[in-house]
């Protein structure tokens, strides 16, 4: 009937629209690369799920077949849901925040998408079409990355690591990792079975359209980060290609296009400089080759695969032995891979982070802490050796530990069960050819390896769930659907369709409406307005909606209020912002009493506003939550100095220094306070290693010593640096001035004469300075 066909088309349209989510970026949203994709994914999935539910109720053919992947996914969802309810902050575990857009709600949406996809995509033709849509979008994303590499488009996160429309290099890397294996899969179907891609003329026509569109789209997005209309145009151009594909046959030239796409994806992955994904690709390719050998030891490809493995091993060994060679250092992806070592800063930080997570797991081993709560664990078990890293971690950067923290041992078992069930279905079912098993096994292996060093995002989640649905659908095709005998009459379909409309609208409104409005309000609040009080009104709007983004709205209000207090605004305006920020942060600390971040931010805010006595108990509470974090001790020391309690400050800085003596900032602050309190010998001892290494003197210490007119000590601090940096004219001049001020005129003149020989461009200025010193007329004040 027409209504049934209409609902089916809605489900298919939604499923085929999801690959385009990766393109959506909106500057009108807070965290434009994350929230836009998250909201669009949720909205599409909600429509798809309720339309599918109506279909499944009247027609068993639209229901999933019983399979272990479905069972594993359901188990995982239930365990993580229970962990959320019994975790530290249930609401946050369920809803997440704007920065991540994950939480149990996203897992539930992914499960809903899985149910619909595994049920509605019930033919090879549909799956082939979905892979081609996804590959075509990935080609566009790859071309966008090429434009970034060529310098036509700014890299969003700065630096040289490509991020395309995903905003983060590691997100783009795993996206390309998936599509490398998907392209290999479709290429294999075309090469070996004569299935898959269609007319090359249509394919190249679509590719040309996408290239032309890429230039325009990339420019538009780089200018405004608003890509909604661009996504529509991509869909239209792709629809033309799909129509041509459905009417075409199979040609060898199409395989060439797939091979070129695969090469593009590999190139872009390499220039994300994401080492986890690069190694994941290598591991996945190795596993795929071994899987093929295991299945077909006499196949024609055996010798080729063995040769490729040998070549890969030789290349890997050669890269290791040539890691310091100039040609390796000039090629950024090779340089990144060659830089991997146990002593490298990022690698060391990963191991330290995993150690922190292990301590957290031991405290709550059964159901963990709930999703989105690793920040509590990170601060509670903070390792002082993490001082060189960013101060806040909300992910372990390892999927195993992330799910141990989020769901305990049962949560991790649920996560691993997804892989195990997929592999079981893949290898037990006769539906897959040997090359398909090999490629899909390699994909799962590469993805899992990548996730041992980073974390997921909505695009990688969608791709992973799509692969799970593909394996489950293929492996159990022809099996009886679930609850086959429990079917409603088709006459009930109009009522069910109405239920689907109401259900989808209601869930979409409940899940997204207030959060989306609050998100937009935050953007308005932090953007310039004609009246500064309008900014405060937008902050209040975002907070009063009481969504999962309230925490971020309050943090942004605090930062904005700090800028208002430091600027030239009327006192009444400053009081309004001060009172509002203070009230909201106190409310946030009550709602999330185990989170260090709010305490430290609020304590620093009170100190900067001059409320030092009020800041002290806030910072003391922060210390209780994270007794080994130097940032907390630093702020306590600053607070003590502001209250004229120099000896108390010295104790805080001493404690911070003793936690990790290699931390330069801790050493400098300890020495600074030692000089402040008259403990000059202690200060000299602390700074001696820095002087011996020829490090530049800290400006704060120089300023303090100048105020005390201790010019001899200033000269001593400059000496090592000046000796090891003969061409630093400014530093050597400052060294000479310090010598002169300390009464060592002859030594100062001697230093300047030596400097004049190596700095002819500054010879006239140096000669004039020497003349003033000889005449005794130089004023060093």
How does pLDDT run across 64-98, given as a tens digit for each residue? Answer: 988 999 999 999 999 999 999 999 999 999 999 99
Tell me: pLDDT of 700 over 70: yes
Within 13 Å, how many C-alpha atoms sit on residue 338's CB side? 20
Tell me how far apart the alpha carbons of residues 83 and 66 are, in angstroms, rounded to a whole number. Answer: 26
Structure confidence at residue 225 (pLDDT): 46
Terminal alpha carbon distance of the chain: 93
Residue 226 forms beta bridges with which residues? 26
Q: Is the pLDDT of residue 408 over 60?
A: yes
Task: Measure Cα distances from 133 to 23, 83, 628 in Å.
Answer: 13, 36, 51
Average pLDDT over every residue of 190-208: 52
Mean pLDDT of 653-664: 96
Instruction: Report residue 84 as tokens.
Output: 């959320």
For residue 766, the model assigns a pLDDT of 84
DSSP 3-state percent helix, strand, coil across the chain (nearest 5) = 75, 0, 25
Nearest to 576 by CA among 540, 612, 615, 618: 540
* pLDDT reported for residue 295: 83
pLDDT attached to residue 727: 83
Mean pLDDT of 471-493: 82
pLDDT at residue 223 is higher than 50: no
Q: Return the minimum-mean-pLDDT range out of 281-290, 510-519, 759-768.
A: 759-768
Phi, psi angles (nearest 5°) of residue 547: -110, -175
CA proximity to 489, closest of 4, 110, 52, 164? 4
Give pLDDT tens digits for 89-141. Answer: 999 999 999 999 999 999 999 999 999 999 999 888 899 999 989 999 999 99
The listed range with the strongest mean pLDDT (11-25, 204-218, 261-275) is 11-25
User: What would the mean pLDDT of 402-419 be, rounded to a whole number?
Assistant: 98
Q: Judge whether residue 146 has pLDDT over 80.
A: yes
Mean pLDDT of the chain: 88
- Name the band, by pLDDT with cuts 50, 70 and 90, for residue 672: very high
Is residue 470 scored above 60 in pLDDT?
yes
């Amino acid at each position: 009937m027409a209504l049934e066909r209409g609902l089916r088309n809605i489900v298919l349209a939604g499923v085929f629209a999801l690959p385009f989510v990766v393109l959506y970026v909106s500057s009108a949203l807070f965290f434009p690369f994350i929230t836009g994709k998250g909201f669009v994914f949720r909205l599409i999935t909600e429509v798809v799920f309720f339309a599918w539910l109506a279909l499944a109720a009247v027609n068993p053919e639209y229901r999933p077949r019983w399979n272990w992947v479905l069972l594993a996914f359901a188990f995982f969802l239930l365990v993580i849901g229970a962990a959320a309810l019994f975790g530290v902050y249930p609401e946050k575990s369920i809803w997440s925040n704007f920065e991540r857009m994950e939480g149990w709600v996203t897992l539930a949406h992914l499960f809903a998408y899985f149910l619909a996809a595994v049920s509605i995509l019930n033919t090879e033709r549909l799956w082939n079409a979905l892979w081609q849509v996804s590959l075509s979008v990935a080609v566009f994303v790859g071309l966008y990355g090429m434009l970034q590499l060529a310098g036509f488009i700014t890299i969003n996160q700065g630096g040289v690591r490509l991020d395309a429309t995903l905003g983060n290099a590691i997100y783009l890397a795993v996206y390309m990792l998936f599509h490398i294996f998907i392209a290999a899969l479709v290429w294999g179907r075309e090469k070996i079975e004569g299935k898959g891609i269609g007319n090359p003329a249509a394919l190249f026509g679509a590719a040309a359209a996408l290239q032309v569109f890429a230039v325009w789209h990339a420019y538009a997005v780089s200018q405004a980060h608003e890509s909604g209309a661009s996504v529509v145009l991509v869909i239209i151009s792709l629809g033309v290609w799909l129509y041509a594909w459905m009417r075409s046959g199979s040609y060898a030239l199409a395989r060439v296009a797939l091979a070129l796409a695969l090469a593009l994806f590999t190139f872009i992955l390499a220039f994300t400089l994401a080492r986890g994904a690069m190694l994941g690709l290598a591991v996945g390719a190795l596993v795929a080759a071994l899987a093929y050998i295991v299945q077909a030891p006499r196949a024609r490809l055996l010798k080729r695969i063995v040769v490729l493995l040998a070549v890969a091993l030789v290349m890997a060994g050669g890269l290791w032995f040539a890691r310091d060679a100039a040609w390796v250092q000039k090629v950024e992806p090779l340089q990144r891979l060659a830089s991997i070592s146990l002593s490298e800063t990022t690698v060391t930080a990963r191991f330290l982070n995993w150690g922190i997570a292990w301590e957290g797991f031991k405290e709550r081993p059964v159901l963990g802490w709930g999703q989105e709560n690793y920040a509590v664990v990170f601060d509670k078990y903070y390792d002082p050796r993490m001082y060189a890293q960013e101060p806040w971690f909300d992910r372990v950067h390892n999927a195993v530990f992330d799910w141990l923290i989020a769901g305990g041992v049962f949560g991790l078992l649920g996560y691993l069960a997804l892989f195990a069930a997929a592999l079981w279905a893949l290898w037990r079912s006769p539906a897959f050819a040997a090359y398909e098993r090999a490629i899909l096994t390699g994909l799962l292996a590469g993805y899992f390896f990548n996730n041992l060093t980073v974390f997921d995002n909505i695009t990688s989640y969608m791709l992973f769930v799509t692969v799970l649905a593909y394996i489950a659908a293929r492996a159990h095709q022809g099996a009886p659907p679930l609850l086959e005998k429990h079917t409603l009459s088709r006459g009930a379909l109009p009522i069910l369709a109405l239920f689907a409309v109401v259900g989808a609208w209601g869930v979409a409104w409940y899940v997204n409406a207030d959060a989306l409005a609050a998100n937009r309000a935050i953007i308005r609040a932090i953007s310039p307005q004609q009246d500064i009080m309008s900014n405060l009104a937008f902050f209040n709007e975002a907070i009063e909606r009481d969504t999962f983004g309230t925490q971020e709205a309050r943090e942004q209000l605090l930062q904005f209020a700090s800028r208002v207090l430091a600027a030239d605004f009327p006192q009444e305006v400053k009081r309004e912002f001060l009172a509002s920020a203070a009230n909201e942060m106190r409310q946030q600390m009550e709602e999330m009493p185990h989170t260090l971040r709010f305490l430290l931010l609020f304590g620093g805010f009170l100190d900067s506003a001059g409320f030092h006595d009020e800041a002290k108990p806030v910072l003391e509470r922060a210390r209780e939550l994270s007794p080994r974090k130097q940032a907390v001790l630093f702020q306590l020391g600053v607070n003590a100095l502001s209250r004229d309690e120099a000896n108390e400050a010295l104790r805080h800085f001493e404690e911070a220094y003793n936690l990790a003596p290699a931390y330069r900032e801790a050493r400098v602050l300890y020495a600074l306070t030692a000089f402040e309190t008259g403990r000059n010998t202690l200060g000299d001892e602390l700074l001696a290693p820095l002087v011996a290494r020829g490090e530049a003197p800290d400006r704060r210490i120089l300023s303090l010593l100048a105020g005390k007119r201790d010019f001899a000590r200033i000269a001593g601090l400059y000496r090592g640096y000046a000796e090891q940096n003969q061409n630093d004219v400014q530093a050597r001049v400052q060294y000479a001035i310090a010598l002169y001020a300390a009464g060592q005129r002859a030594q100062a003149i001697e230093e300047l004469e030596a400097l004049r020989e190596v700095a002819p461009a500054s010879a006239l200025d140096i000669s004039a300075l020497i003349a003033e010193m000889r005449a005794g007329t130089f004023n060093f004040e």
